[in-house]
Amino acid sequence: MERQTGSVLGTSLRREYPGLVKEYAGPGQRKRKRLAMSWGHYFGEKDHNGMTAGNRVKDEFWSFFTTQEEDMEELDKNIDNYCQARVPKIICQARVDAMKKYYGKGIKGKNASAIELNFEQYMTCKLDWINVDAWKCFCHWWTSDKYKEKRKRGQDARFANEDYAQQQGGSLPFCTIQQNLVYQLGPENASGLDTYRVQMAGFKASLKGSGQIRSEKVKQRINIYCQVYHEERGEEHQPVSSELDGNVVYKAFGGLKHGRFAMGNGVFKKTEVLAAVKHKKSGISGSTNSYNAVVRENAQLRHEVTEQRGMIREQRGMIQEHRGMLKAVYEKLGMDIPEEVLSRWESQREDSELDVDCSEGSEEYEIEEEECETEDEEYRT
């Protein structure tokens, strides 16, 4: 079986995990250490070749895959977007993997996630890709009251929704599941809708014939897609025998929610879909149609604004990381940050206050150096 992009990146992200990273705390304050929890943290410290962990992840990816020169820029952005979403999932999975290691083969992932260990127990099941200092900090964090309270709030919120289990297929990307289906069942059983159903029902269960979609929202989503597909393509065309149509997905679900397609996200090129939608709208004529077009155009603009805000929130975290690294460079060189740079940052900060604050909760991953060096007895349960 050919190597898959998600598998290669996931392996590289674990191998190159930075562990503890230094964070600039402000003028006159000493640096503090925190656990690397985002893709941006992979672009901090450089090795003797001037390469960061993030650079090495990308280099390894391109050692396995090639593409046309004109597609390089777009694919590089896709890698960044994928890694930005994948790193938090890897961190979350680390605690579950520790449970499996502690209890052995007799425990499954869905059961392991519900179990909690004490500090000493966590310390005995360190994962190979996390260094000792970082693992110790993870153990402190997982056994803290703050983490347990936050975790319980998340569980309560999920269980309060009667239809919360929308996806049973784990965190595998859509394209990866489709590749697996082609390998296991052949291309005739790996259409766009086939892949989406398997993603929602669970890959292993679907192969055994026991995979079922439990979520009513997902079932309704499939029905809506098929209905709009027939309206666009005609009754003679069947959606189950083709790839997902990005234009149909866009129309069926009112554009992009939080910058994502409702089905098959990651399969379509947003620029091409948006261009096709705008081109189609430009052909509408007549007074009634013009009025309706304006209404739809306004709705579309609102969706696009929502999408742009989502992208800004995602990028803001990266900007903060880069700004911290730049501050650290100036401090190391013994130089003051130029006034024009500080003024620009202040202006950007004031502008960002008009948007939703995406930094909420980030302090929970901050770890002071002395906390990592404290004797274990203070954290035993």
pLDDT tens digits for range 307-345? 676 676 667 767 777 777 777 787 778 788 887 777 776
HSE, CB side, 13 Å, CA atoms: give it for residue 216.
3
- What pLDDT shows up at residue 36? 93
pLDDT tens for each residue of 133-180: 999 999 999 999 999 998 888 878 776 765 555 555 555 777 778 888
Q: In this structure, are residues 2 and 66 in contact, taking their beta carbons and an 8 Å threshold?
A: no
Positive or negative CA dihedral for 244, 249, 250, 251? positive
CA distances from 95 to 90, 114, 123, 142, 293 (A): 9, 10, 11, 8, 51
Residue 366, beta-bridge partner list? 34
C-alpha 89/C-alpha 170 separation (Å) is 11
Instruction: Note the pTM of the prediction, 2 decimals.
Output: 0.58
- What pLDDT shows up at residue 364? 41
Residues of the chain with pLDDT under 50: 285, 287, 350, 352-381
Which runs of consecutive H residues, i.e. helices, occur in 202-286?
203-208, 216-233, 246-252, 270-282
Structure tokens at 175: 């394209």
- What pLDDT shows up at residue 94? 94
